[in-house]
Structure 1
Amino acid sequence: MGLEKKSALLEDLIKKCGGCAVVDGGFATQLENHGAAINDPLWSAVSLIKNPELIKRVHMEYLEAGADIVVTSSYQATIPGFLSRGLAIEESESLLQKSVQLAVEARDRFWDKVSKVSGHSYNRALVAASIGSYGAYLADGSEYSGNYGENVSLDKLKDFHRRRLQVLVEAGPDLLAFETIPNKLEAQACVELLEEEKVQIPAWICFTSVDGEKAPSGESFEECLEALNKSNNIYAVGINCAPPQFIENLICKFAKLTKKAIVVYPNSGEVWDGKAKQWLPSQCFGDDEFEMFATKWRDLGAKLIGGCCRTTPSTIKAISKDLKRR
């Protein structure tokens, strides 16, 4: 199936959902809620090694909550990261493939279950393969600063992402999700890589923001979106893992800068200290507030809405309930 047909699948899903599809929520958060120990450079991807069945369980919980798109557990799963744990290249690539397989298996099991129930209101969910930023691999918080140092070039970023992208594409997801991109350089690397590899799967690229106005690098989103707007591979652009109070302004900003679909899935509002590896006390928004936010974000033009860190299936249930009753 080519790029146009796969993009049409996503467009059809959005239409069936009334103009806005629901993305799932915080994956690592829910793993921790089930007792998984993920204080590790691999973060949530460590569960691919230690407890793959728990990953499938979390996917099921988000599907049951009303998610139309489930994002794989590969955000911090990289071949260099797995190699640093002593795994062979073949094992590393197998774990990347497994991240997609687990999501597909959960989606298909859930679909088989609800298809047998008359009157259900679920659509067949799509699987998005997560590709975290270079900063996520470094595990030093640099995805929230965009400061990779002067030795990190466009070619180095493409080389870093290339094999992981190839393996994930071969695993057969419906979508690709480049997440928490902090600067223009990495966004450009992702776009060029999709073209060089002739990828026939639609992708979204999400930046984050620490001030609600610009990318973490300090670059304007007008600069960051320049290469994305020219790419046929990019279906949607947006924001993930930024506080909810930033999202309204950012949707309005993106709506003026792009004709791509807009995707937003913020965190709970808490602030992550990447160096101390802990969440800092700050304003935290509950499920009821996310429910109200989601309606406004949809009305402003967002086509894909979900949650990121510190959101849970109950958050997604609230978003889904609100969006699908209107």
Structure 2
Amino acid sequence: MINPLGRLLDENNYIVSDGAMATELEKRGVDTNSALWSAEALIKNPEAVIAVHRSYFEAGAAIATTDSYQATPQAFVEAGFTKAQGAQFITQSVQLAQAARDEYLANLPREERLAKGGALLIAGSVGPYGAYLADGSEYRGDYTLTDAQYRDFHRERMQLLADAGVDLFAFETMPNAAEVKALCGLLTDEFPGMTAWLSFSVGASSTALCDGTPLDAVATMANDCDQITAVGINCTAEENVTATLHTLTPLTAKPIIVYPNNGDIYNPIDKSWQANPNARSFAALAPEWRAAGASIIGGCCRSTPADIAGMATALAAQN
């Protein structure tokens, strides 16, 4: 089993990840207001997906997260596509990230290109069952499936992402402990050569998943799975991060990943955002998160390449 995150962290004491996909797609004219969310671009404007990935590499990110968070075989079938078409869209999410990486590297001076050639990772986004429901359930975790049903839901997308060549999986915005357990089991039983980071969805509480499960319980699941190579939180308000790190960091010896929203306030019912005039910048917060234990840091909803660039500069100044 190869551990791409571990390799990068051996070479650098922190990693900068990317930021929001949907926010940048909307700036490029892609309508994401559907059950497929940012995956609409895989159908309507794949070139925009390449452009977004490339913009994050240019901003200093070492990880591109595929546009597959809400791209599930089930969702594509419900949107009117065949199963084969849905599979192609998921495969394409990887190919577009790879193309962006290739384009970015091709424009670098030779020495820099050689130095970075093996240091830019593609993480295959695996969103929770709640994202497929497209009703804000990833912020509540109030759904119940059996272990077998969770595995059946996630298996095909994970296989497609692995076959297309992702470096690792990103199990992200996970609000439900039973789903976390099923994903760890599926990874171990059926994808023995792959690794993943596991990123939880937490609410205002810094001590529990959105479904109420204490973080120590799900951290134990991650600790018991050798193929989970980083643990953390994402898609939460930026003001929740430091307190959650103080809870999570003592619970695991694995690297900690954080990538919160930009501080704006999300309404999952009407899928709207309200600007937060008091939000602090990623450049100001990233060193604080680093000091609190995070070693892989990026942004989630509403974050931009400028945010990632500011964060990369701030972290480099501390290094």
TM class by smaller structure: over 0.9
Aligned equivalent of 1:38, options 32, 46, 50 = 32
Supply the AA of the counterpart residue of 1:300: A
Distance in structure 2 (CA, Å) of the matches to 1:156 and 1:271: 32
Counterpart of 2:260?
Answer: 266
Which of 105, 125, 130 matches 1:135? 130
Cα distance in 2 between the residues matched to 1:317 and 1:122 = 17
In 1, the alpha carbon distance for the partners of 2:100 and 2:83 equals 26
What residue is the counterpart of 2:73 in the other structure? 79
Is residue 278 of structure 1 aligned with residue 268 of structure 2? no
- Matched residue type, 1:128: A
Q: Aligned partner of 2:89: which letter?
A: L
Equivalent pairs: percent with the same residue? 39
**One-letter amino acid of the counterpart of residue 191, structure 2:** K
Letter in 2 for 1:301: G
CA drift at 1:192:
0.6
TM-score (ref. length: structure 2): 0.94
Please state how far the C-alpha of 1:217 moved relative to its aligned partner. 0.5
Aligned to 1:192: 185
User: Would you say the 8 A contact 1:169–1:199 is kept in 2?
Assistant: no
Query: How far apart are residue 303 of structure 1 and its match?
Result: 1.3
Q: Deviations over 1:164-223 (max 9, x none)?
A: 111111111111101100021111011011012133121001111111322111111011
For residue 304 of structure 2, the aligned residue among 309, 312, 320 is 312
Question: 2: CA distance between counterparts of 1:284 and 1:120?
Answer: 42
Give the 5 Å matches for 1:21-32: 21-32=15-26
* TM-score of the two chains, using structure 1 as the length reference: 0.92
User: 1:243 deviation in Å?
Assistant: 0.9
Matches within 5 A, 1:146-161: 146-149=141-144, 152-161=145-154
**1:165 is matched with which residue?**
158
Q: Corresponding residue for 1:145?
A: 140
Amino acid aligned to 1:14: L
Contact 1:76–1:136 (CA<8 Å) still a contact in 2? yes
Say if 1:115 and 1:163 are closer, same or farther in 2 by CA, change over 3 A.
same
How many residues in Structure 1 have an aligned counterpart in Structure 2? 316
The 2-side partners of 1:273 and 1:189 are apart by 29
How do residues 112-127 of structure 1 correspond to structure 2 at under 5 angstroms?
A: 112-116=106-110, 124-127=119-122
Is the counterpart of residue 11 in structure 1 residue 42 in structure 2? no
Residues 85-124 of structure 1: matches in 2 within 5 Å?
Answer: 85-116=79-110, 124=119
CA distance in 2, matches of 1:28, 1:245: 22
> C-alpha separation between the residues in 2 aligned to 1:283 and 1:244?
13
In structure 1, stretches of 5+ residues that fail to align are: none
CA distance in 2, matches of 1:120, 1:307: 27
1:197-216 mapped onto 2 (5 Å cutoff): 197-213=190-206, 214-216=208-210
Tell me which residue corresponds to 1:217.
211
Letter in 1 for 2:167: D
1:308 counterpart letter in structure 2 = C
Of the three residues 26, 51, 63, the one matched with 1:57 is 51
Letter in 1 for 2:168: L
SS of equivalent to 1:127: strand
Alignment partners' CA distance in 1, 2:185 and 2:121:
24
The gaps in structure 2 that reach 5 residues or longer are none
Rounded to whole Å, the distance in 2 between the matches of 1:281 and 1:312 is 14
The CA distance in 1 between the partners of 2:276 and 2:104, in whole Å, is: 36
Q: Which residue of 2 aligns with 1:226?
A: 220
Quick one: distance in 2 between partners of 1:30 and 1:50?
15
CA gap of 1:147–1:283, structure 2 versus 1, over 3 A, is farther
The 5 Å alignment of 1:284-303 reads: 285-286=279-280, 289-303=281-295
> Aligned Cα RMSD in Å?
1.8
Cα separation, 2, equivalents of 1:225 and 1:317: 30
The structure-2 alpha-carbon separation of the partners of 1:283 and 1:217, relative to structure 1 and needing over 3 Å to count, comes to farther
- For residue 183 of structure 1, what is the aligned residue in structure 2? 176
> Is the CA contact 2:18–2:65 (under 8 Å) kept in the aligned structure 1?
yes
